[in-house]
Amino acid sequence: MPFRPRTQRAITPQHRGRFPGFDVLDQAHQWDDVTAGVVLARLALPGMLSFFTPAEVGVAAPMLDLLLGQDEDPRVPVLALIDERLTRGETDGWHYDGMPEDGRAWHETLAALDDDARRRHGRGFAELSRANQARLVQDVQDLADAGDHWHEWLAKRVWSLWTRYACTAFYSHPWAWNEMGFPGPAYPRGYLNSGIDAREHHEVADHRNDDPVPFAQRVERARRADDDLRNGRAGE
């Protein structure tokens, strides 16, 4: 297929996945031309960003990696997908009262995160260790959980802005579909085998039986324990 070298089959973010050998692009010939064009364009994003400045990229790129747990390549190009979306003015069609429109909100909240880094560590967010970057991002989530403000905005609304765009971009990409075994748009192909544990002929069985939810719960407990230690509440 011209849009995919033979050596680049079944790519998943960070080479992690539960469906070995599954490649959603094997189904591209089943999609109508418009759908195929939209999906395949996500594999060939422009190298230059248009919306974010170089300084903002230095803040946004590691922040998005932290939000999505993308620690190594291959990464879903989330920043480029968000940049393309904001360049085109493709927002959710609404924004919170008390928050600017999404494009301006991205500019201002990235500047605020960089300001936090400079006030706390004396240098920009891009120059910090990953651990210190993670702590600054975690502080925003903690304020969101508490219903408090971060800078001039409700933290939960900033957190919503970042995570909405990050997750929408990540899960729009074929590599993420490979990771979770999603066979892509069903139009005009449709489905034949509906039901629990029923698969289409092109789908692959999950090769792991572990439930990812308990792992996520363990991570959250560890995060809370770390907060308790930092705040002197151990043993309470």
* pLDDT tens readout for residues 19-75: 988 999 998 888 999 999 999 999 988 778 999 999 999 999 999 999 999 999 999
pLDDT at res. 214: 67
* Whether 29 and 135 share a structural domain: no
Q: What's the token pair of residue 51? A: 């919306």
Work out the percent of the chain whose per-residue pLDDT is above 90.
66
Q: How far apart are CA 169 and CA 221, in angstroms?
A: 27
pLDDT at res. 189: 81
Count CB-CB contacts under 10 A for residue 165: 24
The residue out of 155, 172, 189 marking a domain boundary is 172
- Provide the domain limits for residue 85: 54-172
pLDDT at res. 77: 96
Mean pLDDT of the chain: 88
Are the beta carbons of 3 and 44 closer than 8 angstroms?
yes
235 lies in a domain?
A: no
Amino acid at 211: D
1 lies in a domain?
A: no
pLDDT at res. 207: 84
115 lies in a domain?
A: yes
Closest listed residue to residue 162, CA positions, set 38, 56, 71, 55? 56
pLDDT at res. 22: 92
* Whether 192 and 105 share a structural domain: no
* Whether 58 and 168 share a structural domain: yes
The answer on pLDDT for 3 being more than 90 is no
221 lies in a domain?
A: no
Are the beta carbons of 108 and 100 closer than 8 angstroms?
yes
pLDDT band at 204 (very low <50, low <70, confident <90, very high): confident
* Whether 116 and 27 share a structural domain: no
